Chain A
Amino acid sequence: GQQVMQIPQYQHVQEGEDFTTYCNSSTTLSNIQWYKQRPGGHPVFLIQLVKSGEVKKQKRLTFQFGEAKKNSSLHITATQTTDVGTYFCAGASGGSYIPTFGRGTSLIVHP
């Protein structure tokens, strides 16, 4: 079955440093979604990418979808303590719209 791998599992940064999490799928994806889960909270939708090579920005967050639609990344510029949480990618493929979630990357920001 489809597998979605996400790295790293954890990332510690100093406030102000950049952060990137990577997502790789074993199959070509029809779309990829990114979610953020704050500690003790629930996953919250951030964005969806659909097109090959697509890049979208939300303030300090930059999302990319690979040309082959098998990988994606989320980059945060100049992290803040409010960025703390676990970032999940979720990809759907093969005509299914049920996304497979990656294991997530937990971002810890040290002030």
Chain B
Amino acid sequence: DSGVTQTPKHLITATGQRVTLRCSPRSGDLSVYWYQQSLDQGLQFLIQYYNGEERAKGNILERFSAQQFPDLHSELNLSSLELGDSALYFCASSTMTDTQYFGPGTRLTVL
């Protein structure tokens, strides 16, 4: 158990819909990262927040957004969902530059 929690574990929705994925980092970690893992694209970095502020952006689509709240939990919002958005979404947390501890992931299926 990494100490990072993610909800929900599974999510099934339809194209065009919007979903919110939630992540609580390890106690004491200020940094949260979001990744998308699909079979054909591997593990893709989406976005990083540090203590409530956006720190780095990766391959995140404009239809996706994220935020980190004062209690340090983070949410990833995915809108206008397409079939190709079906993937595992991982959240990871760390101190500023330390290694990342991954949560169990949310499996998103878009039908």
Contacts and interface: CB of A to CB of B under 8 A. Distances in A.
Given A98-B45, A104-B42, A104-B43, A42 B99 contact: no
A6 to B, nearest CB: 9
Interface of B: 2, 33, 42-45, 48, 56, 58, 90, 92, 96-97, 99-105
Contacts of A104: 42-43
A65 interface: no
A45 B99 CA distance: 7
Contacts, number: 40
Given A42-B102, A96-B56, A99-B45, 15 more contacts: A33-B99, A33-B100, A35-B102, A41-B104, A42-B90, A43-B90, A43-B92, A45-B101, A48-B99, A98-B48, A98-B56, A98-B58, A101-B42, A101-B43, A101-B44
A100 interface: yes
A44 B45 contact: no
A41 B102 CA distance: 10
B45 A101 contact: yes
A42 B104 contact: yes
Interface centre among A43, A99, A100, A102 (most CB of B within 10 A): A43
A105 to B, nearest CB: 11
A97 B101 contact: no
B75 to A, nearest CB: 19
Interface centre among A42, A48, A96, A98 (most CB of B within 10 A): A42
Interface in A86-111: 88, 96-104
Nearest to B94: A97
Interface string A71-94: 000000000000000001000000
A99 B44 CA distance: 10
Contacts of A33: 99-100
Given A42-B90, A43-B90, A100 B102 contact: no
A79 B101 CA distance: 25
